[in-house]
Chains A and B, each alone.
Chain A
Amino acid sequence: MPSEQRYAIRLKDVSKRYFLNRTTPLHLQDMIMKPWTIRSRLAGEAFWALQDVSLDVPRGEILGVIGVNGSGKSTLLRTMVGLSPPTSGTVSIHGRYAALLELGAGFHPSVTGRENAYVNALFMGLSKKRARELMPKILEFSGLGKFIDQPMRTYSTGMYVRLGFAVAVHVKPEILVIDEILAVGDADFQQKCFDHFAELKQQSATIILVTHNVGTLREFADRVILMEAGQIADDGDPDAVIDKYMMNRLTASDATQRVFRRSLEAQGLLPEEATAEKAAPDGVER
Chain B
Amino acid sequence: MAATITRTTSATDLLRSVSTTWDLLLAITLRDIRVRYQGTVLSFIWWIARPLTLGTVLYFALGKVLRIDIPNYSVFLLSALFPWFWFAGSIQQATGIFVSNGGLLKKVRFPKLILPLSAVLFNTSQFLLTLPILIGFVLVAGISPSTAWILGIPALIALQFLLLVGLGTLLATLNVFFRDLGPMVEVALLLLFYLSAIIFPLDLVPDEFRPVLALNPVAPLIDAWRNLFLHGEFVDGAIWPALVITAASLALGLYLFNKLERHFADAL
Contacts and interface: CB of A to CB of B under 8 A. Distances in A.
A111 B2 contact: no
B3 A94 contact: no
B259 interface: no
B40 interface: no
Interface string A52-95: 00000000000000000000000000100111111111111111
A62 B76 CA distance: 67
Interface stretch (A24-32, A213-221, A254-262): A24-32
Instruction: Place the interface of chain A in its size category.
Output: 35 or more
B24 A123 contact: yes
A94 B19 contact: no
A97 B265 CA distance: 18
A89 B24 contact: no
A134 interface: no
Which DSSP category, helix, strand, loop or mixed, fits chain B's interface? helix
Nearest to A90: B4
A13 B158 CA distance: 48
B3 A27 contact: no
B38 interface: yes
Contact of A106 (B2, B7, B108, B180): B108
A25 B8 contact: no
B31 A108 contact: yes
B3 A88 contact: yes
B231 interface: no
B35 interface: yes
Contacts of A5: 8
B67 interface: no
Interface string B232-268: 0000000000000000000000000000001101110
Contacts of A126: 20
Interface stretch (A114-122, A188-196, A245-253): A114-122
A122 B34 contact: no
B97 to A, nearest CB: 14
B177 A25 contact: yes
Contacts of A92: 5-8
A110 interface: yes
Interface of A: 5, 18, 24-29, 78, 81-97, 99, 101-102, 105-106, 108, 110-111, 115, 118-119, 122-128, 131
Interface of B: 1-8, 13, 16-17, 19-20, 23-24, 27-28, 31, 34-35, 38, 103-104, 106-110, 176-180, 184, 262-263, 265-267
The 6 closest A-B pairs by CB, nearest first: A88-B1, A105-B107, A25-B179, A28-B180, A128-B23, A122-B24
